[in-house]
Amino acid sequence: MPLSARNRLKGVVKGIEKGEVASTIKIEVKGSAVITSMITREAAEELKLKVGDTVEAVIKASEVMVFKE
């Protein structure tokens, strides 16, 4: 499926927390960095996500902020 997003990071699902409405998905990329994504519970169930699955985190944002102390 073609996507306009260019920021696609392959990783492995390391954790899933299902709530009433939303699910929190933890994806380990590059062997150490962890991305946390909140998606609807329905979407998580449709994708049949489980720990150990190989997935892609697709990031589409109009801006990225950087902060340095």
What does each C-alpha distance from 5 to 1, 11, 58 come to in angstroms?
12, 17, 7
Please tell me whether the overall predicted TM-score, pTM, comes out greater than 0.85 for this model: no
CA angle (8, 10, 15) in 5-degree steps: 115
In a domain, 4, yes or no: no
In a domain, 22, yes or no: yes
DSSP assigned state of 47: H
In a domain, 2, yes or no: no
Structural domain containing residue 34:
16-53
In a domain, 35, yes or no: yes
Q: Which of 11, 14, 7, 10 is nearest to 59 (CA)?
A: 7
In a domain, 58, yes or no: no
In a domain, 68, yes or no: no
**Helix boundaries (H) for 1-69:** 41-47
Each of the 69 residues of the chain gets a pLDDT tens digit; together they read 777 777 889 999 999 999 999 999 999 998 789 999 999 999 999 999 999 999 999 988 777 788 898
Number of domains in the chain: 1
In a domain, 61, yes or no: no
Question: For the chain, what's the residue count?
Answer: 69
